[in-house]
Structure 1
Amino acid sequence: MITKRIIPCLDVKDGRVVKGIQFLGLKDAGDPVELAKTYDNEGADELVFLDISASHEGRKTIVDVVEKVAAALAIPFTVGGGINHLEDMKTILRAGADKVSVNTAAVLRPELITEGAAFFGSQCIVVAIDAKFDLDKGKYVVYTHGGRQRTEFEVLEWAQEAVQRGAGEILLTGMDSDGEKTGFDLKLTKLVSEAVSVPVIASGGAGNAEHMYEVFEKGQADAALAASIFHYQETSIKEVKTYLKECGVNVR
């Protein structure tokens, strides 16, 4: 039986962890290094670090902060934001990351996924997809540049192409539910989970342990990512895992 993973996420801007609602209204949530240490000690399975304004601001990921966070961790560590070339991937992995996450750059130049997978192996390449439901199309559409720009890519088609090109995981964020704490977008998560052959990390909307149970059971996610409920100590990773075990979910 595959073990389900609980993954805290550090959305980093100007060297600080921030959190908003539907990618807007960002508020300070603490120091990335201190939070990383806390989550490692609490039993997080992995940690995701996203430099959320790097692509929008047209700059590279803040490598010095990545190095400090990596030094504080013993768990797998994924870094994304501003990774546009193979050399950027090398820089981030040398700084201590175990995986790189690409989003905007992969949409603009899908060959980046192929290049990364060929050089480092698919297990190193996470493709992040920010998805929003389009009422006119009746389908989920991909957004880039930190959720600021709508594309013509449909989520299912893009997720499948990303996997064909070598993505080892999909980090799927439902923008409509992000930061709302009302639960994950179960329909979106299930659609993508059923359409691809690699693990899907569900993101956007976690408000409590029950939401995580739902995204595993109904959304068929392989991992659940959360930010504010952990940052603001509304619940802990240990409490979430205890609840999931009681519900029969296989967690570490």
Structure 2
Amino acid sequence: MSGLAVRIIPCLDFKDGRVVKGVRFENLVDSGDPLERALLYEAQGADELAFLDISATVEGRKTMAKEVARIRKAIAIPITVGGGIASMEDAARLLDSGADRVSVNSAAVREPAIIEAIARRFGVQCAVVAIDATKSPAMPSGYEVKIAAGAVATGLDAIEWASEAAQRGAGEILLTSIDRDGTNLGYECNLIHLVSRAVPIPVVASGGASKPEHFLEGYRNGALALLAAGIFHRSEVSISEIKQYLSAHNVEVRL
């Protein structure tokens, strides 16, 4: 892993024009204006921005494209956009609006060929597969993939699905532990470890980080990028503080 700077990625969950945050994908609370948040996080040293539409009706996707364009004009860091991308047209609209990458989740499970199609048309670097996983003793790895914002169990083993996604052309896995989301308990490090060992592409850890130590744990378990939301929205710690902590523990970051 040496030679690769670890990326710190704040996440903006977007609904009805506002940033929101919940616990295990439920009980959402308002967390501000997307553009204001994007500007703040870029100023703090964010390497990228994740922007996820969690109310992805058709109208939501149109609103999302406008919001992406608004933010793209204001910031220079890369933007990954996900939520409700169900077709190549959806992906193209968001990339044309200024997204650098698109993240597919439910659509990829339902129609895996969309991963190959996005990678082929726009490049592997544009194709992110988001995996929402929860503990399940019924799965070989102990983790099951869920879709539709965590509401629908798929019967897919998370590690097997991550491996297939990589084989189909995903350039990155955005891995969220539903069990840890919004809990402040830290990343699901065993899940990160299993997936990062199973795929040859970067894994972005998501779900549960609330202090600098959690970011270090995520990295040490194989994540090459570390995503968080609530900790930044509540101004509990800044992105620059996270980076200083990681640097002090011999982790390469962009300061």
SS of residue in 1 equivalent to 2:133: strand
Match of 2:85 in 1: 83
The secondary structure found in structure 2 opposite 1:123 is: helix
- Deviation, 1:60, is 5.1
Partner residue of 2:153 out of 131, 150, 153: 150
User: Corresponding residue for 1:207?
Assistant: 210
CA distance in 1, matches of 2:75, 2:158: 32
Shift of 1:63: 1.3
Unaligned runs of 5+ in 2: none
Q: Displaced runs of 4+ in structure 1, greater than 4 A?
A: 57-60
Deviations 1:147-172 (A, max 9, x none): 11111111111101111110000000
Distance 2:157 2:75 in 1: 36
Identify the match of residue 184 of structure 1 among 182, 187, 197. Answer: 187
Q: Contact 2:139/2:157 (CA < 8 Å) preserved in 1?
A: no
CA RMSD of aligned residues (A): 1.1
**Cα distance in 1 for residues equivalent to 2:26 and 2:65:** 24
Q: Deviations over 1:68-90 (max 9, x none)?
A: 12212100100001111111111
Which residue of structure 2 aligns with residue 68 of structure 1?
A: 70
Cα 1:94/1:30, change in 2 over 3 Å: same
Indicate yes or no: 2:49 matched with 1:47. yes
Q: Distance in 1 between matches of 2:129 and 2:72?
A: 20
AA aligned to 2:202 is P
Aligned to 2:136: 134
Matched, 1:125 2:124: no
1:229 aligns with 2:231: yes
In 2, are the aligned partners of 1:60 and 1:81 still within 8 Å (CA)? no
- Do the aligned partners of residues 106 and 42 (structure 1) sit closer, same or farther apart at CA in structure 2, a change above 3 Å counting? same
Structure 1: 5+ residue stretches without partners: none
1:174-207 CA distance string (max 9 Å, x none): 1111100111000000000000000000000001
Whether contact under 8 Å (1:60, 1:83) holds in the other structure is: no
Shift of 1:136: 3.7
One-letter code of the match for 2:98?
G
Q: Within 1, Cα distance between the matches of 2:138 and 2:155?
A: 13
1:170 aligns with 2:173: yes
Secondary structure of 1:100's counterpart equals strand
CA–CA distance in structure 2, aligned partners of residues 133 and 165 of structure 1: 25
Q: 1:240 corresponds to which residue? A: 242
Distance 2:107 2:138 in 1: 26
Partner of 2:19: 17
1:235 aligns to what SS in structure 2? coil
Q: CA deviation at 1:58?
A: 6.0
Asked whether 1:107 is paired with 2:121, we answer no
CA contact (8 A) 1:209 1:243 kept: yes
SS of match in other structure, 1:181: coil
Matching residue's letter, 2:156:
F
TM-score, normalised on structure 2? Answer: 0.95
Q: Percent of aligned positions with the same letter in both sequences?
A: 52
Contact 1:4 1:223 survives alignment (8 Å): yes
**Is the partner of 1:96 in helix, strand or coil?**
coil
State the distance in 2 between where 1:136 and 1:173 align.
19
Count, aligned residues: 249
Measure how far apart 1:59 and its partner are: 5.5
